[in-house]
Amino acid sequence: MVYILLAPGFEEIEALAPADLLRRAGIDTALVSVTGEPVPGSHGITVTADITLDRVDLSQAEMIVLPGGGPGYKNLGKDPRVEQLVRKAVEKDLWVAAICAAPTLLGKWGLLKGKKAICYPGMEDQLTGALVQTAPGEIRDGKIITGRAAGNAIDFAAELIEALLDRAAADKVLESICY
C-alpha cells in the first residue's frame, strides 16, 4: 500500500498525478487526510481522501508520499503524527517520497543526512544534511525519493512505480497516457 498524505493547501498535481498513475500500475494507493475531513488543495480543488491518518497501517505499507504545496507541506510539518509516521517508515526500511517543498521536511527531521536530494528551487538550504542536487527531475538515494516541483509530477510518479515494481511497469503506464 502507498499512502499519500494530504494536508490543507497540498499541491493537487503532486498528489493526484502519483495517485492516478500508481493505481494505473495496479499498486494499492490511498489518499490520506491528515485533518480527517475533505482536504482543500492549494488551487481550490477539494479532495475527499480514502482514509484518515489514524487508519494508516505501516504493516501494510510499501511507501509514504508527501506532496508539496506552499501551505500544504507546512501543515504536514506542523502535525507531529506525520513526522512520527515518516520516521517509523524509515526505521522499517519502507520507501519515503517527497516532492517540491516537502523534501525540506525530511531535511528538518534529519532523514537526509548524506543522501542526495532535490526540492523546489530556492529551498535547497532547507535540505539539512543532504547532498543537494540541482538537476531537474527526481533523485533516488536508498529508499528516499525526492522530486523537484509540480512540473515533474508525472516523472515523479513514474519513479515511484519503478521503485515499487520496475522500469517496464512505469514505461507501460506512461505509454498508456501517451506521455
Active site residues: 100
Number of helices (H), then strands (E), belonging to the chain: the values are: 6, 11
For residue 53, the 8-state DSSP code is G
* Residues 6+ positions from 154 with CB-CB distance below 8 Å: 17, 21, 174, 177, 179
Nearest Cα to 23, choosing from 45, 4, 51, 48?
Answer: 4
Nearest Cα to 119, choosing from 128, 33, 80, 72?
Answer: 128
**CA distance linking residue 117 with residue 128, whole number of Å:** 10
